[in-house]
Chain A
Amino acid sequence: MGLGRSEGRLTLALLEFTEHKMTDTTIELRKKAKGERPQYFQDPAIDKVLAITMALAGEVAVMHDQIDTMQRLMEKGGPVTRADVAAYIPDTEVREERDAWRQTFLANVLRIVHQEREELALEAGKLAESYDAAVELVTSEAA
């Protein structure tokens, strides 16, 4: 890692540990990008529910990383204070393990989408198959 990142993170960890809430002087950034948001489903409530579901999936992944950090700190036998958890910086190997975990996690969360994808692949495959079969039929000795 580069310059002063760990030090910065440590300061940050202490800050996070002591000040969880935003102060009154916090400058709020805009939440909505200007421009009409496309509606993807007939009932706009479905658009909202999907957005909330994906945000929750994100928060589960955040909690997973937090638990993973605690477990790794415990395995090393060191202290596991909130400041330690906040200051922990995953190395490349840990990041790769977490990347892999998130892919499995997303495949689980999006199971219903992947089911449909499998079905579509079969349908598209059958179209291709039947055409190949037709070519095979008319060019072989059999027909």
Chain B
Amino acid sequence: MIEDIDLKTQYPHAMLPEASADEFARQEFVKSLKFHLASQVSPGNKDAFEARAKPRFERSAKRPPETIHDVRKAMAEEPYFNFWSALQRNSQEMMWKSVQLSVERQLPDLIDASKSDLPETGGTLRLDPELETPRYHSAVDIHCMPGGYHSEFTTDDVANGATYDRAVYLYAMGRMGPFNSDIGDTTIAWIKANHPDFRPRRILDMGCSVGHSTLPYCDAFPDAEVYGIDVGAPMLRYAHARARTLGKTVHFSQQNAEATDFPDGHFDLIVSHILVHETSHVAIRRIMREANRLLAPGGLVVHAETPPYRDLPLYDAFMLDWDTRNNNEPYWGASHELKAADVAAETGFDPALAFEAYQPSAFEAEEARRTRVFQGGDFGGGGAWWVWGVQKAA
């Protein structure tokens, strides 16, 4: 199937908001700006650190910077870094705006489309208007998306689902593939490589948003039932319609991963894709206890994220931490300190069965195979995803 698809363009499924010529040009500009900042402007931050901020810190502290907090203190007075930060923040805000313009214009059509005669796949949608939005989502709008995952602007709203689907493509500069599915594909590749005989009967994707990471599980495990949960209704309405337009069977429901209504031992595989950093210290532990309850013996919970700071050189960890204070990701920094075995031990799992691993990006591997050119947009993912989790004792 992938052979027929333009790998340089987001796949235009029936729910994807159309962009007019001008809207498309504006979105392309945002993508170019992000690329320019990452490849042409950001490298100067390292020179500013080495040449100016670090020596200044050493003169006043009488020691080299040892933690990312030291680096942040040193860089706080660095004009080049502050200017890059301002540009980077603007690129994020411009990204949302560039997508909102087209979503706003065609929102009634998108809502109609989500309710029209889409292919019947057997997939279901269950919403819970009573569900309370967790405070770690209502406190600030995560990654500066106005309204976050949960806000609704009209009846049967799909606006932020549509906005998120298109913006994720721009944010990743296309490097997550035409279906934005790279994190799911990569997590699956890790599971298949490390548990080749694993045959899950039911799979749960926690914090699935528009289902871009969920859908690959339908193809990878065709005998399994696939479920996706999220706290945001606009995400789930969009996800359900999107899954149907793409002919995939997924059961979506509006639930908080900390406490779901599924029976004990219902799932063999529980996954999440960049969910963890959007929760909280307390919530991730509740989520892991809930995963423990939901898993059948021998089942797996796998979270995909960006690398923990301990695995990175100090300066790189500092740069990765930018989102914590500049992109409305308050748990980003602390979540990058989590250790799989510690969390497993705290949440009733056997820490000896915990794991942490790096898995190369599935899309980049596929693209390299096809074109024999290893394209380096090189922002964020760094060509691999970090997976961590634990197996429940058999």
Contact = CB atoms under 8 A, between A and B. Distances in A.
B104 A40 contact: no
A74 interface: no
A123 B12 contact: no
Given A34-B148, A120-B80, A29 B90 contact: no
A122 to B, nearest CB: 9
Interface residues of B, number: 71
Interface in A70-119: 85-88, 92, 95, 98-99, 102-103, 106-107, 110, 113-114, 116-117
Q: Interface residues of B: mostly helix, strand, loop or mixed?
A: helix
B196 interface: no
A61 B12 CA distance: 23
B154 interface: yes
Contacts of B145: 33
Contacts of A134: none
B94 A29 contact: no
B104 A29 contact: yes
A133 interface: no
A85 to B, nearest CB: 7
A103 B22 contact: no
Nearest to A62: B25
B126 interface: no
B52 A31 contact: no
B29 interface: yes
Interface in B28-45: 28-30, 32-33, 35-36, 40-41, 43-44
Given A13-B20, A27-B107, A92-B8, A54 B47 contact: no
A69 to B, nearest CB: 7
Contacts of A62: 22, 25-26, 29
Contact of A5 (B12, B21, B51, B148): B12
Given A33-B144, A54-B94, A123 B52 contact: yes
A44 to B, nearest CB: 11
Nearest to A5: B12
Interface string A35-58: 101101100000100110011011
A123 B55 CA distance: 12
Interface string B74-108: 00000110111111011101101110100111011
Given A30-B153, A62-B26, A102-B32, A8 B18 contact: yes
B21 A40 contact: no
A110 B163 CA distance: 28
A113 B83 contact: yes
B55 to A, nearest CB: 8
A99 B94 CA distance: 18
B94 A2 contact: no
Contact of A61 (B13, B25, B140, B144): B25
A28 B147 CA distance: 12
A126 B44 CA distance: 15
A24 to B, nearest CB: 13
Most buried by B among A13, A86, A106: A106
A3 interface: yes
Interface of A: 1-5, 8-9, 12-13, 16, 22, 25-35, 37-38, 40-41, 47, 50-51, 54-55, 57-59, 61-62, 64-66, 69, 85-88, 92, 95, 98-99, 102-103, 106-107, 110, 113-114, 116-117, 120-121, 123-124, 126-127
12 contacts: A29-B159, A29-B160, A30-B153, A33-B96, A33-B145, A34-B148, A55-B94, A61-B28, A65-B22, A92-B8, A113-B87, A120-B51
